[in-house]
């Protein structure tokens, strides 16, 4: 499974369109963090994830844990593109009884490995998956996507320390470093200073990339694939709301839907021709 850079970019563009559509239809949800993460998730599933869309519960699949589970539109768009769910299912986002619940939920949606929504939980869960894989003698890996606001939770650092203690080379994290959280910029809410140095100090393999440059992303994923002596983290510098001008770097679009005019503008910016 190796897609070209332009194919990956095109996949991410299609996902971006679906993200904005989902949030627009629901008039609720989290576009900002979905648009910042989507290049990373698209590349991850297209280049390295060992999964079977037709058999989503395959026991030996790699796990993907969207710990920042509010950014669910990104995940749903990708799952639809990869055939885990139907494009029609995207219309059930935040709709009563729909498989696309507000926050990704493993009990509701095929291809989702974690019931998220409360921040700071996914890394410990991923560690559990990685330990289980080791006990099973399986090659499978656990990939965890964290938000940068999310790593303010203390439990993240409990897991970060424990993963090194247990030398979990099959635990791999992508940090969506978009510099914005719920209320405001991270800088205003809680300064985190040197994030790479913190992970290094906890014994992790660390690499930083531009999270919207597909070539760098593919290189970054290769780094995760090949660092197996302990846990590793790819710190992806991203732009919240990437791809929609008025959402970019704008804390207001952490958890808000576009209105009619904004929606039309977003669609045209994402290359949708009516």
Partner 1 sequence: MSRMAATRDGYGQALLELADNDRVVVLEADLGKSTKSLHFRKEYPERTISCGIGEQNMLLVSAGMASSGYIPFASTFAIFTERAFEQMRNGVARPNLAVHLCGSHGGTHTGTDGSSAQSIEDLAIYRTLPNVTVLHPCDDVSTRLLTKQLADSNKPSYMRTARNKTPVLYDDVDQSTIQIGKGIELREGNDVAIIACGVLVSEALKAAEDLSQQGIQATVIDMHTIKPLDTDLVDKVASRCGAIVTAEDHSVIGGLGGAVSEHLSTSSCTPLERVGVKDRFGESGQADEMLELMELSAPHIAKAAHRAMNRK
Ligand X SMILES: Cc1ncc(C[n+]2csc(CCOP(=O)(O)OP(=O)(O)O)c2C)c(N)n1
Give the DSSP H or E segment for 25: helix 5-26
Choose, by CB under 8 A, the member of 5, 132, 161, 190 that binds partner 1. 190
- Is position 102 an interface residue for partner 1 (rule: CB under 8 A)? yes
Binding of residue 1 to partner 1 (CB under 8 A):
no
User: How many whole angstroms separate alpha carbon 210 and alpha carbon 50?
Assistant: 24
Q: Which of 174, 240, 244, 266 binds ligand X (CB under 6 A)?
A: 240
Q: Is 241 in the site for ligand X (CB under 6 A)?
A: no
Out of 97, 193, 229, 273, the only residue in the binding site for partner 1 (CB under 8 A) is 97
Pick between residue 175 and residue 218 the one whose CB is nearest to ligand X.
175
Nearest alpha carbon to residue 231 among 150, 155, 164, 176: 164
Question: Contact region for ligand X (CB under 6 A) — 79-87, 115-123, 134-142, 158-166?
Answer: 115-123
Contacts of the segment 128-136: beta carbons below 8 A, 24+ positions apart: 129/63, 129/65, 130/163, 130/168, 130/170, 130/171, 131/166, 131/168, 133/170, 134/168, 134/170
d(C-alpha 242, C-alpha 71), whole Å: 13
Contact 241, 262 (CB under 8 A): no
Torsion of CA 177, 180, 186, 189, to 10 degrees: -150
Name which of partner 1, ligand X, none residue 32 binds, using a CB cut-off of 5 to 8 Å depending on partner kind: ligand X
Instruction: Provide DSSP, 117-148.
Output: -STT-HHHHHHHHHHHHHHHT----EEEEEET
Q: Which does 94 bind (CB under 5 to 8 A by kind): partner 1, ligand X, none?
A: partner 1
Contacting ligand X (CB under 6 A), which of 73, 111, 126, 147? 147
Q: Is 161 in the site for partner 1 (CB under 8 A)?
A: no
145 φ, ψ (degrees, to nearest 5): -100, 120
- Measure the CA–CA gap between 69 and 89, rounded to whole angstroms: 18
Regarding 116 and contact with partner 1 (CB under 8 A), the answer is yes
Mark the segment that binds ligand X (CB under 6 A) among 28-36, 75-83, 89-97, 160-168: 28-36
CA distance 66 to 250: 22
Site membership for partner 1, residue 67 (CB under 8 A): no
Stretch that binds partner 1, among 82-90, 136-144, 178-186, 222-230 (CB under 8 A): 178-186
Q: Is 149 in the site for partner 1 (CB under 8 A)?
A: yes
Query: For partner 1, which is the closer residue by CB, 47 or 182?
Result: 182
Rounded to the nearest 10 degrees, the angle between the axes of helix 122-136 and helix 154-165 is: 20
Residue 182 in the binding site for ligand X (CB under 6 A): yes
Residue 118 within binding range of ligand X, rule CB under 6 A: yes
**Residue positions counted in the chain:** 274
Q: Are 135 and 88 in contact (CB under 8 A)?
A: no
Q: Quick one: what does residue 231 bind among ligand X, partner 1, none, with the CB cut-off 5 to 8 Å set by partner type?
A: none
Binding residues vs ligand X (CB under 6 A)? 30, 32-33, 36, 68, 70-71, 117-120, 147-150, 176, 178, 180-182, 240, 254
Residues lying near partner 1 in the complex (CB under 8 A): 26, 28-29, 69, 94-98, 101-103, 105, 108, 115-120, 149-150, 152-154, 181-183, 188-190
């Amino acid at each position: 499974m190796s897609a070209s850079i332009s194919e990956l970019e095109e996949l991410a563009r299609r996902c971006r369109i679906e993200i904005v559509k989902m949030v627009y239809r629901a008039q609720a949800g989290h576009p900002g963090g979905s648009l910042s993460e989507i290049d990373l998730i698209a590349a991850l599933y297209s280049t390295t994830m060992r999964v079977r869309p037709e058999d989503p519960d395959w026991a030996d699949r790699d796990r993907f844990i969207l710990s920042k589970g509010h950014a669910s539109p990104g995940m749903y768009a990708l799952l639809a593109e990869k055939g885990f769910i139907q494009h029609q299912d995207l219309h059930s986002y935040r709709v009563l009884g729909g498989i696309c619940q507000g926050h990704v939920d493993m009990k509701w949606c095929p291809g989702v490995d974690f019931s998220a929504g409360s921040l700071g939980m996914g890394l410990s869960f991923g560690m559990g998956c990685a330990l289980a894989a080791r006990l099973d003698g399986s090659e499978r890996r656990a990939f965890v996507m964290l938000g940068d606001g999310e790593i303010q939770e203390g439990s993240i650092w409990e897991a970060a320390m424990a993963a090194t203690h247990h030398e979990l080379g099959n635990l791999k994290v992508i940090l969506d470093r978009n510099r914005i959280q719920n209320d405001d910029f991270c800088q205003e809410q809680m300064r985190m200073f040197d994030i790479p140095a913190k992970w290094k100090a906890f014994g992790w393999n660390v690499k930083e990339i531009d999270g919207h440059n597909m070539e760098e992303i593919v290189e970054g994923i290769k780094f995760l694939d090949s660092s197996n002596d302990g846990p590793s983290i790819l710190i992806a510098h991203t732009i919240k709301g990437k791809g929609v001008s008025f959402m970019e770097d704008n804390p207001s679009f952490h958890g808000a839907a576009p209105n009619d005019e904004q929606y039309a503008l977003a669609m045209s910016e994402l290359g949708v021709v009516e």
